[in-house]
Structure 1
Amino acid sequence: MTPTAGSLPRQAPDYRWSAARLALGTASALGISRFAYGLLLPAMRTDLHWSLAQAGALTTANSLGYLLGAVLAGIAARRRGPTATFRLGMVLTALALAATAVSGAYLALLTARAAAGIGGALVFVAGGVIASRSAAAVRSPAPITIYFAGAGLGIAISGASLPGMMAYAPHDWPMAWLGLAAFALLATVASWTAARVDGPELRSATGRRRIRPLWRTAVAYLLFAGGYIAYVTFLSAALAQEHTPVWQISTLWTVLGISAVAAPRVWDPLMGRWPPARVLTTLLALLAAASALPLVSSSHAVLAVSVLTYGATFMTVPAAVTATIRGATPPEDWTPTLSAFTTVFAAGQTIGPWAAGAIADRTSAAATLAWTAALCASAALVAAYPRRADRRI
């Protein structure tokens, strides 16, 4: 299904460069705002005397904000257009990251993390719509996969800088949040024009949410959301519990981010040839295996394989789901459907970290990795048996 010319972004040969600048949105809203918390968690937990359940609750607060933002994103994108919604989300994300450094009070941190979640959802939905229009224009999944792979850049930057800083000065975690806020502000400036949509934007409220024909994809996405977030939230805590050297944690986290950035090179050809259900099932199965590996061995080689595989797959899942939505729905339905799927995604992320942290408090931090493996494996089983409507996509 091809959108009308008036609804498409520019089709110039530099679309990859535009997609890369747009990807600074996921670098900021996900790679920095969401996932970097996992690197700061050990220092914050020690300094503020938290349990793992309390630490997980901050991710839950972020996810609750994300849930609210997913609902607001659909409304804002239809009324104001995806460009204005994306830019608003970028600004809110930068401000929320700065606010996280203001106080160590638990309620203040919960509020700041929730605000960051709202901003992240606005960016996620609006950027996904813009990337989908670009993908339709150039007849390639590259704009979508590049956009979501941007989260890896934020992860790599965080991994290269934060563990060493926290090992040297663990009480300076507020300064780390200020540094992340500065990156988010620069990302906002750099991505500002990349979010522009040439031609009139679709702002009408006539679009419909298309969930029922893709309900298996929605269920798999829910399970994935509840599982994957535990890996990136608690991996550092699990490694620290095993007395893993700081340099090794930093290296592994950087590898995780770099592999996420490189993921489009691996998955673009397959997304162009394979049915969406097969791509999604493969991704989820690989995630389950990757998250289970550290439970088998804590050797550097095994951990490296785990983060390399995880990084190369986890942000491609939203890309695969977005591509599925783009292929299954008319252009006017992209925004409400993507917003609805993001709401499903946010619901999973809301429950997952708290539940995984609560289980870990009664067992060990390694239980969070088992949680990820179990939920991603379940999601793979659901995605492996698409309905007839899914097979036609």
Structure 2
Amino acid sequence: MKKPGFHYGWMIVLAGCLTIFACIGLARFSYGLLLPSMGKELLLEYDRMGYVGTGNFCGYLLGVAIAPFILRRAGARHTIAGGLTLVALTMFGMGVATTFFAVLVLYFLTGIGSGIANIPVMVVVGRWFHRSLRGRATGLMLMGNSMAIIFAGYLVPWMNVLKGSGGWRWSWGTLGGVIFLVAVTAGLIIRDDPSQKGLSPAGEPKAPAGAQIAKAPEKRSLLRPLLHLSALYFTFGITHVVYVTFLVTSLVSERGMAEATAGRFWAVVGIFGFFSGPLFGSFSDRFGRKWGLATVFAVQSLSFYLAAKTTGEIPLFVSVALFGLSAWSIPAIISSAVADTFPMERAASAFSFVTFCLAMGQIIGPAVAGSMANASKTFSTVFLLASIGAAFAVVLAAFLRENRAHS
């Protein structure tokens, strides 16, 4: 195997970054920005807004469930490109939808495409990097979320000014076009395995101090870390999704903030998010996955608490900055932990399972939060509950055992 100065694995990271930018960043995180104007035109109450978000996560859950089967038959490259194409087409449809039911169905299909694209891209990066670089590579890839938030944070308000009440429709169409371009690009760059380029994975195979190395793990020995990681990912799903889905709506509806101003606040998440994955991904490479997860959950708990209990612009800025700084770290660390713990032939199924649990949390979160906000006419309570949930995850993460199946 040749070892060039520039490893093609970093091209995989670039393609993965664009994929995350499209299938998660634009497809999911733009929804909260589009909700105020879309909800107004379609007469959507808070509960229906939550149901549409839940529909997307139900689709994502289905996409996550079927992704490993498609991956085994079509390979990562074609699975990712196909999933992104589905996302693009359904987002075009969102731009012309006129009823709640149409939006619900289309965003459900968007979720399926997101799940189909996301699972293989998170798995394939683990094949291209040894443990010493895996957290950093995954963290860099997840910067795509931040790029999407900044892009949408300026595109959507600008489109609303340019096109008036129909601006949200043009935004959906524009986002769909961008995602289609990403689908083509990812299909051209991604390769399923380093051997297809005559390479070995980048980095050096090693484990951090204190990690237990299992030479030949049995299914039973892998069940405990699988369930532990799944519980952590479920908690992340049910807590962060409330903030992502309803922060902008709460700023506009409860605090009377202009949509353009709320969009700029949301863009702060993207700006600080550039540091999120690389910072805590590298931290977890050095100090271990459990301490990386515990630290990130602590930061998120404080972020949610500030959103629930403060009203001034400075505390709000701190809240969104802390969320941005931590948000994309957890997927990076979880995917790295799966790649650390499970042999290559089991990694896709393992990551699919933990992501299935993430999606379950994301399904429950918007529906419950939307119903609670509709009844109480405030989002403070749901943000506070999210803070408590993240604090619980700090304790749960501290008990994670790092059992290395391979490097």
TM-score for both structures, normalised by structure 2: 0.87
- Could you say which residue in structure 2 is the equivalent of 1:100? 94
* Structure 2 CA distance for partners of 1:9 and 1:131, relative to 1, 3 Å: farther
* Structure 2 CA distance for partners of 1:250 and 1:392, relative to 1, 3 Å: same
* Structure 2 CA distance for partners of 1:145 and 1:132, relative to 1, 3 Å: same
Please state how far the C-alpha of 1:296 moved relative to its aligned partner. 2.9
Residue 313 in structure 1 maps to residue 326 in structure 2 = yes
The separation in 1 between residues aligned to 2:5 and 2:123, in whole angstroms, is: 16
* Structure 2 CA distance for partners of 1:13 and 1:392, relative to 1, 3 Å: closer
Instruction: Name the stretch that deviates more: 35-44 or 71-80.
Output: 71-80
- Could you say which residue in structure 1 is the equivalent of 2:55? 61
Please state how far the C-alpha of 1:172 moved relative to its aligned partner. 2.9
- Could you say which residue in structure 1 is the equivalent of 2:242? 230
Are the aligned partners of 2:94 and 2:172 in contact in 1 as well (CA < 8 Å)?
Answer: yes
Please state how far the C-alpha of 1:78 moved relative to its aligned partner. 1.8
Please state how far the C-alpha of 1:138 moved relative to its aligned partner. 7.4
- What is the aligned counterpart of 2:195 among 174, 196, 199? 199
Secondary structure of the structure 2 residue equivalent to 1:243: coil
Are the aligned partners of 1:70 and 1:121 in contact in 2 as well (CA < 8 Å)?
Answer: yes
Q: Which runs of 5+ in 2 are unaligned?
A: 198-217
Instruction: Name the stretch that deviates more: 135-144 or 335-344.
Output: 135-144
1:319-338 alignment, distance < 5 Å: 319-338=332-351
- Could you say which residue in structure 1 is the equivalent of 2:203? none
- Could you say which residue in structure 1 is the equivalent of 2:228? 216
CA-based RMSD of the aligned residues comes to: 2.6
The separation in 2 between residues aligned to 1:150 and 1:182, in whole angstroms, is: 17
Are the aligned partners of 2:341 and 2:405 in contact in 1 as well (CA < 8 Å)?
Answer: no
Q: Which amino acid aligns with 2:81?
A: R
Are the aligned partners of 2:122 and 2:335 in contact in 1 as well (CA < 8 Å)?
Answer: yes
1:1-393 alignment, distance < 5 Å: 12-13=6-7, 15-136=9-130, 139-166=133-160, 169-197=164-192, 198-199=194-195, 210-240=222-252, 241-363=254-376, 364-387=378-401, 389=403
Are the aligned partners of 2:230 and 2:355 in contact in 1 as well (CA < 8 Å)?
Answer: no
Aligned pairs, number? 382
- Could you say which residue in structure 1 is the equivalent of 2:207? none
Secondary structure of the structure 1 residue equivalent to 2:327: coil
Instruction: Name the stretch that deviates more: 68-77 or 9-18.
Output: 9-18
Q: Which amino acid aligns with 2:187?
A: W
Q: Which amino acid aligns with 2:84?
A: M
Instruction: Name the stretch that deviates more: 78-87 or 108-117.
Output: 78-87
Instruction: Name the stretch that deviates more: 244-253 or 20-29.
Output: 244-253
Please state how far the C-alpha of 1:283 moved relative to its aligned partner. 0.8
The separation in 2 between residues aligned to 1:211 and 1:39, in whole angstroms, is: 39
- Could you say which residue in structure 1 is the equivalent of 2:210? none
Task: Report sequence identity in percent.
Answer: 25
TM-score for both structures, normalised by structure 1: 0.90
- Offset from partner CA, 1:172-196 (integer Å, 9 cap, x none): 3211110111111122223223322
- Offset from partner CA, 1:315-356 (integer Å, 9 cap, x none): 110111001111111111111111111111111111110001
